[in-house]
Structure 1
């Protein structure tokens, strides 16, 4: 597993993180790509939309939640 994926997985196991938090605190420039890699490796991670305040008003960002590791049968049923 890539180093960025390992770092992200460890952080998500501690609690949900937004795209901005992942970029700012973990230094991962493309969080969605790393989440995709983790999902491909069998980790159950869901994305929820969250409103955040910016200097220009409010916008929505993804907030990622780690739910656990998928079993082989769960992975196969999602692929079908």
Structure 2
């Protein structure tokens, strides 16, 4: 993939995968992160409800850290944390 300038993105709940596989996924994504050719998205252990829940958790963490006000949460701030954005 890297030789062909392909950017790899794996989306989904990786927590069910072995640590070794998670490390390999992270390494492959990191290696191809700056590639500008095609983008290959692989949905592994992914679901729309999971994605919305994950995005909501990320926003909640920002609110807890004082980085974001709950009043500032809207569809745009949620969309920033959706996997395919």
Q: Same fold (TM over 0.5)?
A: no
Greater helix proportion:
2
TM-score, length-scaled by structure 1:
0.26
